[in-house]
């Protein structure tokens, strides 16, 4: 009897391993009413070793959410922890717009998919599931995941209604655990991001990010989608993270005869 159990456990573990790590959403989050890709848009599969784990996600400060307290409130995370991980002077200090912050969340498996539940109260009558998932939560959730977990239809949303927002997160697979990976961080992709840029931000190998997301080197990354970044240690403040500067020419043209510009250090 116990042998049978062991066998079953092994079979389950094996089939989870065969499922691989977590495929990239590939911009299917834009198509709220297409159910064909629900396997990608609903969340990351519960294929990890643990059914719940510490995980992290990234969020960009903006004029509406610009302190640890406000971001913590939106994302259901502890302001003091946000402040300490990101070296903020206090949990009410104003954070410059577009700073990439690391937010700790407790990820857990809810039947098929890992997620972190947050409640969001609608503020404005223009808000739809897509706007909440894409604009307010910056792609950390999807309209499809929200629609499948809230009873109210998209057309019946109203100001003051509380919605469940399942944030995308995941726990490491057995292969990842075996190679020393302790956490998966949900990184919110923005304009101009590349795998090598993201790998540099977290000081990880590009290939581990590609593997974790079942991506090939030539995959296009789309803004407001999420990627998993495997980490061996707890993340710290992201060092200066102005995403790849706009490819515009320098605002001021250098003087025609700039003195020995290549020697500056």
Phi-psi region of 92 (alpha: psi -120 to 50; beta: other; left: phi over 0): alpha
Position among 195, 215, 224, 227 found at the interface with ligand NAG (CB under 6 A):
224
> For strand 44-45 and strand 113-121, is the pairing parallel, antiparallel, or unpaired?
antiparallel
Least distance to ligand NAG from the beta carbon of 242, Å? 15
Task: Tell me if 205 contacts ligand NAG by CB under 6 A.
Answer: no
If one asks whether residue 36 binds ligand NAG (CB under 6 A), the answer comes out as yes
Q: Which is nearer to ligand NAG, 175 or 197 (CB)?
A: 175
Q: Is 78 in the site for ligand NAG (CB under 6 A)?
A: yes
Listed in sequence order, the residues at least 6 apart from 201 whose beta carbon sits closer than 8 Å to its beta carbon are 100, 238, 239, 241
In the complex, minimum distance from the CB of residue 3 to ligand NAG, in angstroms, rounded to a whole number: 25
Nearer to ligand NAG, 3 or 208 (CB): 208
Other C-beta atoms closer than 10 Å to the C-beta of 92 total: 12
Number of residues engaging ligand NAG in binding (CB under 6 A): 27
- Residues 228 and 45: their CA atoms lie apart, in Å, by 12
Of residues 90 and 261, the one with the C-beta less far from ligand NAG? 90
Are 131 and 82 contacting, i.e. CB atoms less than 8 angstroms apart? Answer: no
The three-state (H, E, C) secondary structure of 145-214, written as one string: HHHHHCCCCHHHCCCCCEEEEEECCCCCCHHHHHCCCCEEEEEECCCCCCHHHHHHHHCCCHHHHHHHCC
Candidate list 26, 80, 175, 241; residue touching ligand NAG; CB under 6 A: 175
Does 14 bind ligand NAG (CB under 6 A)? Our answer is no
By 3-state DSSP, what share of the chain in percent is helix, strand and coil, each rounded to 5?
A: 30, 20, 50
Among 14, 15, 39, 94, binds ligand NAG (CB under 6 A): 39
Nearer to ligand NAG, 63 or 254 (CB): 63
- Distance, in Å, from the CA atom of 87 to the CA atom of 76, rounded to the nearest integer, reads 19
Nearby residues of 168 by Cβ (< 8 Å), 6 or more positions away: 43, 44, 57, 114, 115, 140, 141, 142, 145, 186, 226
Among the listed ranges 119-127, 152-160, 181-189, 197-205, the one in contact with ligand NAG (CB under 6 A) is 152-160
Segment contacting ligand NAG by CB under 6 A, of 34-42, 93-101, 198-206, 225-233:
34-42
Choices 2-10, 17-25, 181-189, 252-260; region in contact with ligand NAG by CB under 6 A: 17-25
Residues 107-136 binding ligand NAG (CB under 6 A) are: 108, 110, 117, 134-135
Interface residues with ligand NAG (CB under 6 A) are 17, 20-21, 23, 30, 36-37, 39-40, 77-78, 87, 106, 108, 110, 117, 134-135, 149, 152-153, 156, 164, 175, 224, 236-237
């Amino acid at each position: 009897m116990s042998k049978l159990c062991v066998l079953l456990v092994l079979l389950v573990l094996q089939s989870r391993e065969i499922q691989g790590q977590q495929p990239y959403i590939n911009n299917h989050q834009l198509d709220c009413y297409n159910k064909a890709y629900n396997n990608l848009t609903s969340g990351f599969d519960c294929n990890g070793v643990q059914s719940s784990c510490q995980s992290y996600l990234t969020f960009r400060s903006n004029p509406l959410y610009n302190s640890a307290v406000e971001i913590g409130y939106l994302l259901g995370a502890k302001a003091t922890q946000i402040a300490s991980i990101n070296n903020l002077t206090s949990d009410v200090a104003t954070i410059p717009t577009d700073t990439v912050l690391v937010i700790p969340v407790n990820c857990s498996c809810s039947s098929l998919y890992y997620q972190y539940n947050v409640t969001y109260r609608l503020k404005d009558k223009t808000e739809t599931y897509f706007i909440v998932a894409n604009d307010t939560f910056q792609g950390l959730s999807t309209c499809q995941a929200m629609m499948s977990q809230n009873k109210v239809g998209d057309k019946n949303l109203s100001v003051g209604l509380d919605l469940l927002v399942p944030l995308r997160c995941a726990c490491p697979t057995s292969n990842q655990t075996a190679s020393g990976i302790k956490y998966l961080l949900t990184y919110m992709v923005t304009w101009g991001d590349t795998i090598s840029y993201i790998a540099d931000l977290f000081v990880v190998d590009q290939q581990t990010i590609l593997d974790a997301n079942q991506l090939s080197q030539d995959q296009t990354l789309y803004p407001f989608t999420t990627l998993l970044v495997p980490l061996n240690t707890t993340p710290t403040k992201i060092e200066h993270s102005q995403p790849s500067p706009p490819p515009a020419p320098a605002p001021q043209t250098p003087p025609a005869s700039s003195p020995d510009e290549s020697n500056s250090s």
